[in-house]
Structure 1
Amino acid sequence: MRADDAVHLFEEMQCKGLTPSTVTCNIVLQGLFRVGRSRAARKVFDKMLITPIISDWYTYCVMLDGLCKGGHIEEALNLLHKMEIQRLDLKHITMYNIILDGLCKSGRLDGARDLFNSLFLKGLDPDVITYNTMILGLCSIGLLKEAKGIFIKMKENGCLANGITYNVIVQGLLLGGKYDDALVHLEEMDNRGFLLHSHTFSKLLNSLKKSENDPYLLKKIQKFVPNMKE
C-alpha cells in the first residue's frame, strides 16, 4: 500500500467512527517514515495523542527512530524530553539507544556523551547496543582513548562485549595507527570465537602495508582469514 493510501485509510476509519488499533497506527507511521514523509507521520502521531488510540512503547520507538533517521534530531530530543516530563511509563534503554545513534551520526558527540552519562541517573542500564553506539561514535572521530575507556567501563558494569564491539574497536585502533592495541583486542576476539567482519579485514590489510608487512601482524591476519565474515 502506498503512503497516501495508508493515510487516507487511516483518516477514513476515524470518519466512520472506527478506532484504528495501535498496531495499525504503528504500521502507518513506519511506512510514512520509510518513504521520507516525516511531517505526515508526525500528524498521524499527533492525532493518536488526542484520540482513544493508545501509543505504546513501540510507537515511541518508531517515532524516535524515524525522526532521527530523517535528520530531525532536535524534534526527536524534544519528544523524548516530553516523555520524561510526563513521566510516561515507557522508558526503555532502546529509546535512548535510538537517540544516541542519532546524535553520534549527526556529529553531536557532546550531546551523546551527556545522554550516555545520564542513563544511570535515570535508572537505566546501558546494554551492548548502547556501548557499541558510543564506541563507534568516538572511534569515528579519533577519540580512541575515550572509546577504550567506554570499552573498559562496559566490562566493569558486567555487560558482555559482542562481535560488533570488537570489530568496531579494532577498526578504530587500526585507523588510529594503534596496531599493538588492535592486536590485543584481535586476540581477545579470537579467543571468544567472534568473526572478523570484511570491513575490519580490509583495514587489517591496509595496516599491514603501512607497517611494512610486520610479521606478527601478517600472522594474525592469516589466522583470521578462514573465519572472515562477509
Structure 2
Amino acid sequence: MKGLYLNGKILDALYIYGKIVAKGFWFDEVMYETLINGLCKSGETRVALQRLWKMEGQFVKANFVMYNIVVDGLCKGGLLNDALDLYFNMLGRGISPDIKEAGLLLNEIFVKDISLDVYTFNIIIDALCKEEMLLQVHDLCDVMILRGQQPNIITYTILINGYCLNNKVDEARKLFDMVIERGVVLDVWSYNILIKGYCKINRVDEAMNFRKDMFLKNIVPNIVTYNSLVDSLCKAGRISSAWEIVNEMHYCGQPFLDVNTYNILLDFVCKNQHLDEAIALFKSLIYERSFVPNIWSYNILISGYYKNKRFDEAMKLFLYMCSKNLDPNIETYNILLHALYDRQQLGKAIILLNQIVDDDICPNLYTYKILIYGL
C-alpha cells in the first residue's frame, strides 16, 4: 500500500483497503498509519479524517501518531474547525498532541479571524500549559482578549496551575494576587493549586501562610488542602506540625477526613524506623477515630515489619487483612515475595506466585526484578 501512495495511486490503495476489510481481516497500527499518512500527503485529508472516525469501536484504536498526522493535514488544508474538533477529541481521550501540531493550530487561530468562545480558549490554554508552552499561552491570552473574550475564573485557575506545573510558583502567585485585586473571587481549588505548588518546591512555610489567608477570606480548606500540607510537613520532618493540621481537621469537625491523611502519617513514621510507634498509631486510629484502613495502610505496616526483620508479624497482619475481605494488590505481594526470597524460603515464594496468578493480579517490573535477583 505504501508503494501505491508513493506513486499517487490513491484509489488503488483504497480499493485494496476495502477488499482486505471485506474479507474480515483487520489492519494493524502500522498499516492504518500508512493509510492515513498517505491520504493526508495526497491532499485527501477529509477522507483520512473519516477513516480515523471509523476506527472507533474497532480492534485497533487511533493512536497519537494518527491523530497528529490528520491534525497537521487539516491545518495545512485550512480546515481549522475540523482540526479543532479533532484536537479536542484527542484531549478528551487523554492523548497529548504533538507540540508541532499545537503550534500549527495556534498559528491558524492567530492569522485567521476564527471565532472561539471562552470555553474553547480555556481548553487550548490548558493543553498548552501541560505541554510547557507558556510563551504561546501568553500570546493566546492576548488574542483571546483582542477578540472580545474575557478570561473567567476557569481561565485564571488554568493559568495558575500552568505556572505551578512548570515550577514557576512566584509567577503563579503574582497572577493570583493580580486576579484578587481585580475583584475576581477565586475558590478553594485555586488556593489548593498554589499550596501544592509551594509544597512541590519545598516552600512549606509559604504554603502554611497561604492556608491562613484562606481562613481570613472565609474559604474553607478541603481534603486536598490538608493532605498536601500534611504530606509536605512529613517530608520536611515536621511531624508535630503535621499532627497539628490533622488535629485541626478532626476537632473542627471537618467532614472530609480521609484514610489517605492518616496513611501519610503512618508512612512517615515507618520510614523513620519507628515501627512500634506506627503500630500504636494504627491501633489508636482504628479505636479512637473510626479509621478504616485500606490496602495502602496495610502495605505500609507489612513493609515496616519486613524491613525490621519481623516477618512473622508481617504474615499475621497479611492474613488479618485478608480476613477483613480486603484483597492484596501487587505491592502487597511484592513485599512478601521479597521477604521470602531474603529468607531463602523459595517453596513459600512459589506458592505465593501461584496465588498471584490465581487472583488474576498482573506482576509489575518490580515483581520481575525480585524473581530475577531472587533466583
Fold match, TM over 0.5?
yes
Structure 1 residue 65 displacement after superposition: 1.1
Where does residue 44 of structure 1 map in the other structure? 140
**Cα 1:158–1:11, aligned 2, differ >3 Å: closer, same or farther?**
farther
Structure 1 residue 63 displacement after superposition: 0.8
Contact map agreement 1:109 1:137 (CA 8 A) in 2:
yes
Structure 1 residue 164 displacement after superposition: 2.1
> 1: distance between equivalents of 2:329 and 2:108?
44
SS of alignment partner, residue 142 of structure 1: coil
Where does residue 98 of structure 1 map in the other structure? 193
Contact map agreement 1:61 1:95 (CA 8 A) in 2:
yes
SS of alignment partner, residue 123 of structure 1: coil
Is 1:6 the counterpart of 2:105? The answer is: yes
The two structures, once aligned, show a CA RMSD in angstroms of 2.6
User: Which amino acid is 2:189 matched to?
Assistant: T
Is 1:176 the counterpart of 2:242? The answer is: no
Where does residue 109 of structure 1 map in the other structure? 204
Where does residue 321 of structure 2 map in the other structure? 224
- List gaps (5 residues or longer) in structure 1: none
- Which is bigger in relative contact order (C-alpha 8 A, separation at least 6)? 1
Where does residue 123 of structure 1 map in the other structure? 218
Contact map agreement 2:270 2:304 (CA 8 A) in 1:
yes
**Cα 1:180–1:83, aligned 2, differ >3 Å: closer, same or farther?**
farther
Structure 1 residue 192 displacement after superposition: 4.3
Where does residue 232 of structure 2 map in the other structure? 137
Deviation readout 1:104-147 (Å, 9 max, x if unpaired): 01111111111112210021100011001101111112111111
> 2: distance between equivalents of 1:229 and 1:57?
40
Where does residue 128 of structure 2 map in the other structure? 32
SS of alignment partner, residue 183 of structure 2: coil
Structure 1 residue 157 displacement after superposition: 2.5
Contact map agreement 1:166 1:189 (CA 8 A) in 2:
no
2:149 pairs with one of 46, 49, 53:
53
Contact map agreement 1:103 1:109 (CA 8 A) in 2:
yes
Equivalent pairs, count: 224
Deviation readout 1:51-81 (Å, 9 max, x if unpaired): 4213222212211111101121111011101
Contact map agreement 1:175 1:203 (CA 8 A) in 2:
no
| 1:58-97 alignment, distance < 5 Å | 58-89=154-185, 91-97=186-192
Is 1:149 the counterpart of 2:248? The answer is: no
**Cα 1:131–1:82, aligned 2, differ >3 Å: closer, same or farther?**
same
User: Which amino acid is 1:4 matched to?
Assistant: G
> 2: distance between equivalents of 1:58 and 1:184?
44
> 2: distance between equivalents of 1:156 and 1:9?
56
TM-score (norm 1): 0.84
Contact map agreement 2:188 2:219 (CA 8 A) in 1:
yes
Contact map agreement 2:275 2:305 (CA 8 A) in 1:
no
Contact map agreement 1:128 1:162 (CA 8 A) in 2:
yes
Is 1:213 the counterpart of 2:310? The answer is: yes
Q: Which moved more, 1:155-164 or 1:175-184?
A: 175-184
Structure 1 residue 186 displacement after superposition: 3.2
TM-score (norm 2): 0.54
**Cα 1:3–1:185, aligned 2, differ >3 Å: closer, same or farther?**
farther
Where does residue 295 of structure 2 map in the other structure? 196
Deviation readout 1:137-178 (Å, 9 max, x if unpaired): 111121111111111111123222123222222212222334
